Amino acid sequence: MYGNWLKTSILMAGIVALFGVVGGAIGGQQGMLIALLFGGGMNLWAYWFSDTAVLKMYRARPVDAASSPYLYNIVRDLSQRAGLPMPRVYLIDEDQPNAFATGRDPAHAAVAATSGILRLLSERELRGVMAHELAHVRHRDILTSTIAATVAGAISALAQFGMLFGGRGNNRPHPAAQILIVILAPMAAMLIQMAISRTREFEADRGGAEISGDPGALADALLKIETRAKGIPLHTAEEHPATAQMMIMNPLTGGSLRNLFSTHPATAERVARLRAMSPGAMPRRT
């Protein structure tokens, strides 16, 4: 548990330090402030309204105990076990098995599952998946990802600023160094942002296993989802790849650099960590 949190803290410190280095080299203090304010404003809006926007994007429909008792009752029971307020529950009419959580805090959270995941998984496995999503809510991972996205966006803005204006006065780097900064800084920021996302997925796996009390259920579910999801596209995710990090399984296709640039850890590693957790090590949190 503490190892994942420490890694996240180190990565967050790293991306902020990168922002300072790039900002000092290209934009100076004024450029840094402009980029940070611009990125912060964009992501503050996303943080506050992301739940409404992404649910509408995926055409998710709200369900309750009457319209979808199976899913709703699973989420209600797990929320009580986790000590969380009951989130809003949504169903997405897509064949690809997947699920996600959104919302700025536990009091404004929502969880969504595709119809494909309901058909694919057993009740035990679905409980493992929804417990994972509730762990994201409990850990306030939307806030973490928003901060990382804000700083990464500011770094990209500074790099573009350097390309257009060539730096400021005494802060102007050597032309060759400037070209490297403009090209490499946004890539480095993205890599750190992806690493933060992968670390939070590991922690949500651990937290979900704690909530459900059944690490093997999530492990079994992940294996099933990976096998089935590979052959079923999720067109909304392909059109809006920034939403991929929200899913329990990366819904996007990838190439040879998939692991480096992926928002999710390798499924085999996630499963191995879950298998290593004994049920007795998963105490119920009150």
Give phi and psi for 89, each to the nearest 5.
-120, 135
Secondary structure element (H or E) that encloses residue 63, with its range: strand 61-63
Give yes or no for a contact between 212 and 78, defined as CB atoms under 8 angstroms apart.
yes
CA-angle at 234, arms to 43 and 139, nearest 5°: 45
Q: Report residue 215 as tokens.
A: 């690490």
Secondary structure element (H or E) that encloses residue 61, with its range: strand 61-63
What distance in Å separates the CA atoms of residue 58 and residue 270, rounded to the nearest whole number?
26
3-class state of residue 233 by DSSP: coil
- The total of other beta-carbon atoms located within 10 Å of residue 6's CB is 11
Residue with tokens 């190892």: 3
133 given a catalytic annotation: yes
What distance in Å separates the CA atoms of residue 57 and residue 277, rounded to the nearest whole number?
36
Give yes or no for a contact between 213 and 286, defined as CB atoms under 8 angstroms apart.
no
What distance in Å separates the CA atoms of residue 215 and residue 220, rounded to the nearest whole number?
9
Question: Which is catalytic among the residues 94, 125, 133, 203?
Answer: 133
What distance in Å separates the CA atoms of residue 141 and residue 146, rounded to the nearest whole number?
8
Residue ranges in 213-275 assigned as alpha helix (H) = 215-229, 235-239, 258-261, 267-275
Sheet holding 110-114, edge to edge: 61-63, 88-92, 110-114, 99-102
Q: Catalytic positions, please?
A: 133
